[in-house]
A and B are shown apart, each in its own frame.
Chain A
Amino acid sequence: MRFAVIQFGGSNCDRDVAYVLEEICGVDTDLVWFKEGLARKYDAVVLPGGFSYGDYLRAGAIAARTPVMADIRRLAAGGGLVLGICNGAQILAESGLVPGVFTVNAYPKFICRPLFLRVERTDTPFTSLYSPGEVIRIPIAHREGRYVTPPGVEKDPGFSSQVAFRFCDRFGNVTSGSNPNGSFQNITGILAPQKNILAMMPHPERASEDILGSSDGKRLFLSMIAHLSTSS
Chain B
Amino acid sequence: MKFLVRITISLKEGVLDPEASLIRRALENLGFQTEELKTARQFIVRFDADDELQARERAKTMCERLLANPVIQKYEIEVLG
What residues of chain A have their CB less than 8 Å away from a CB belonging to chain B? 57-58, 61, 65, 94, 100-101, 103-108, 146, 148-150, 182
Size of the B side of the interface (Cβ < 8 Å), in residues, is 11
| A106–B71 touching, CB < 8 Å | no
**What residues on B are CB-neighbors of A182 within 8 Å?**
16, 18
Q: How many A-B residue pairs have CB under 8 A?
A: 32
Query: B22: CB under 8 A from chain A?
Result: yes
State in angstroms the CA–CA spacing of A103 and B69 once bound together.
10
What residues of chain B have their CB less than 8 Å away from a CB belonging to chain A? 15-16, 18-19, 22, 65-67, 69, 71-72
A107 contact from B18, B65, B69, B72, Cβ within 8 A: B18
| B69–A65 touching, CB < 8 Å | no
Q: 12 extra interchain contacts, Cβ-Cβ under 8 A, other than A57-B66, A100-B71, A101-B69?
A: A58-B69, A65-B65, A101-B71, A103-B72, A104-B19, A106-B16, A107-B18, A107-B22, A108-B19, A148-B15, A149-B71, A182-B16
SS class, residues of chain A in contact with chain B: loop
SS class, residues of chain B in contact with chain A: helix
State in angstroms the CA–CA spacing of A103 and B67 once bound together.
15
B79 CB → nearest A CB, Å? 22
